[in-house]
Amino acid sequence: MAAAESYPDDLKYHREHDWARVDGDEAVLGITWFAQDALGELVHYEAPAPGSTVSKDSSYGEVESVKAVSDIIAPLSGEVLEVNQAVVDAPETVNDDPYGAGWLIRVRLSDPAEVDSLLDAESYKQVLADQ
Amino acid sequence: MPQTLLKTPLHDRHVALGAKMVPFAGWEMPVQYEGVIQEHRAVRTDAGVFDVSHMGQIDVEGPRAHELLQGLLSNDLDRVEPWHAQYTLLPNERGGIVDDLIAYRLSPFHYLLVVNASNRQTDFAWIKEREISGSEVRDVSDEYALLAVQGPNAIAKLGLASAPKNSFAEETVDGVHCMVNRTGYTGEDGCEILCMEEDAGTLWDAVLARGVTPCGLGARDTLRLEACFPLHGNDISPDTDPISAGLGWTCALAKEFTGVETLRRIKEEGPERKLVAFVMEDKAIPRQGMPIEGGGEVTSGTHSPMLDIGIGMGYVPAAQAAVDTALTIDVRGKPRSARIVKKPIYNREG
């Protein structure tokens, strides 16, 4: 069942439709409701390898629907601590729960100060409204 | 200057149903309503309806209509009984495929050709230029709407009796007079219903009221690819020939038609490459244009909703085209394993 549109206030957002839940020097990353809705039902998640590094504003993986493939842009830089195997096995989890069970990776931040450059929910909603 | 997209008579109904509308071959068409996978499964397990009114209809009539079309189309119209349809090709002089289409034999003097939306103008111009005295060629696409109702329960849900594949008949469906053709592009039982443009809304509403799921072009593509039906512009084109594409069965090489000498030669010598169907062994989704190691290319690829794996079709060298041959596909720079399978990729009967 597809989730209803939402942009939780406790998350930070990147304008390429990615979110980060920051907890100290770690963060959990995923794609926003808008991103999963634009793609449609996800059928493949090409995940990065644990231990690899991701760089802010660069692609760290791909998500694919039946019709389209999209790069996943890292909102923050860091080392991949964990990949969400549940999404690798059942990519539609992202459609069902983009901010919960549908998270993509957990990272150790290499530069926690990067968090300051991200958008809050209100600013991200404004980005969507301006499109 | 922005191009104005054409709209089928059902456009407002698609929007009201919440469809995602996309440009396709100059038309604004529904790609999905609820979701591609759900719609795909509805067709495989029950019944779905597609608005395919964007497809073109060309009417060819007259005492020499048969003669004209026998010289232009690859398949043999002498093998088609009246009130039956035939899948056939419109070849060019080089043996390439201008379009693939269905020819409906209304009488020995009257045929209706249903052609791809993207090729409507090309096909009409091609046939019109070659019109002979005693044949009249008209583009009648704007007069008709076309609904494809497909799935194991499609015929029963429409209240129709069973009928032979490729036959067609005049019927009345919930008060709408129409032509019901036992044809389709999904690999399922079902029909394609041609009605007058002004009756399309009434017919669409009646079909939905009978519990048939509205389906978009997204599911139409995944269904046809599981069934290994070629898509013109992807798997076949003016630069590919039917022998290489595995469509030799649509070419009556004993008769004379445009491009036949080239096709006889290819058949005689054997094609250099062949269009094969494959399934991914690795987790990856093949897409059109991806290279296949050893000199091949993916022409269509998607995720199979029924098999839950990547599937596709593509051309490979003829020597490497046998079933079970391992393929390596370049998926955005990453080598991914696939295996050639027998067509169709998915068959409900197993």
Rounded to an integer, what distance in angstroms lies between the CA atom of residue A110 and that of residue B46? 53
Candidates A46, A67, A69; nearest CB to B36: A67
CA–CA gap between residue A97 and residue A32 (Å, rounded): 10
The verdict on A64 touching B (C-beta cutoff 8 Å) is: yes
- What are the backbone angles phi and psi of residue B223, rounded to the nearest 5°? -65, -45
What band does A67 get if pLDDT is binned at 50, 70 and 90? confident
Give the global pTM.
0.94
Q: How far is B72 from chain A (nearest CA, A)?
A: 35
Q: What is the pLDDT of residue B1?
A: 45
Question: Among residues A62, A53, A71, A48, which one has the least CA distance to residue A111?
Answer: A53
pLDDT of residue A3: 86
- B/e letters for B218-231, b = 16+ CB within 10 Å, e = fewer, are bbbbbbbbbbbbbb
To the nearest whole Å, the CA of B175 is away from the closest chain A CA by 37
Q: What is the DSSP track for B262-302?
A: HHHHHHHH--SEEEEEEEESSS----TT-EETTTEEEEEEE
pLDDT tens string B206-241 = 999 999 999 999 999 999 999 999 999 999 999 999
Contacting residues for B194 by C-beta, under 8 A, at least 6 apart: B57, B114, B144, B145, B146, B178, B179, B181
* Tokens matching residue B314: 């593509």
State the Cα–Cα distance between residues B259 and B90, nearest whole angstrom.
10
Which residues on adjacent β-strands are paired with residue A73?
Answer: A59
Nearest residue of chain B to residue A41 (CA atoms): B35
Contact B219, B186 (CB under 8 A): no
Percent of chain A past pLDDT 90, that is, above it, reads 95
A41 neighbourhood in chain B, CB within 8 Å? 35-37
Q: Does the distance separating the beta carbons of B285 and A40 come in below 8 Å?
A: no
Instruction: Check if B31 contacts A (Cβ < 8 Å).
Output: yes
pLDDT of residue A47: 97
Q: Does domain B272-341 have CATH number 1.10.10.10?
A: no
Where exactly are the structural domains of chain A? 12-108
Task: Decide: A18 and A32 in contact? Cβ < 8 Å.
Answer: yes
User: Which residues on chain B are in Cβ contact (under 8 Å) with A44?
Assistant: 283-285, 303, 310
Q: What integer pLDDT is reported at residue A1 of this predicted model?
A: 57
Domain A12-108, CATH: 2.40.50.100
pLDDT at A2 (0 to 100): 75
Specify the pLDDT at position B347: 85
Please judge whether A41 and B37 are an interchain contact, meaning their C-beta atoms are less than 8 angstroms apart: yes
Residue boundaries of the structural domains of chain B: 11-52+143-226, 272-341
DSSP chain A: -PPPP---TTSEEETTTEEEEEETTEEEEEE-HHHHHHH-SEEEEEPPPTT-EE-TTSEEEEEEESS-EEEEE-SS-EEEEEE-HHHHH-TTHHHH-TTTTT--EEEEES-GGGGGGSB-HHHHHHHHHT-
Identity of the residue in A44, A67, A88 whose CB atom sits nearest the CB atom of B284? A44
List, in order, residues 6 or more apart from B80 with CB less than 8 Å away: B86, B103, B105
Alpha carbon of B197: minimum distance to chain A alpha carbons (Å): 30
Cβ–Cβ below 8 Å for B222 and A66: yes
Nearest to A115 by CA among A6, A10, A12: A12
- B157-168: per-residue pLDDT in tens? 999 999 999 999
Which residues have C-beta within 8 Å of that of residue B100, sequence separation ≥ 6? B87, B88, B89, B90, B116, B230, B232, B236, B247, B250
Residue in B170, B180, B63, B145 with CA at minimum distance from that of residue B111: B63
Q: What is the ipTM of this complex?
A: 0.85
A–B CB contacts, 8 A cutoff, strictly below: 39
Q: Does residue B302 belong to the interface with chain A, where contact is any CB pair within 8 Å?
A: yes
Identify the three-state secondary structure at position B329: strand
State the pLDDT at residue B349: 65
Burial grade of B289 (CB within 10 A; 0-12, 13-18, 19 or more): exposed
Residues of A in contact with B223 (CB under 8 A): none
- Nearest of B116, B115, B255 to residue B263 by alpha carbon: B255
For chain B, which ranges sit under pLDDT 70? Answer: 1-3, 349-350
B35 contact A CB<8A: yes
Residue B35's φ and ψ, nearest 5 degrees, are: 170, 145
Residue to substitute from B303, B308, B334, interface A, most A β-carbons within 10 A: B303
| Domain at B11-52+143-226, CATH homologous superfamily | Probable tRNA modification gtpase trme; domain 1 (3.30.1360.120)
A60: Cβ–Cβ under 8 A, 6 or more apart, which residues? A48, A52, A54, A72, A73, A74, A80, A105
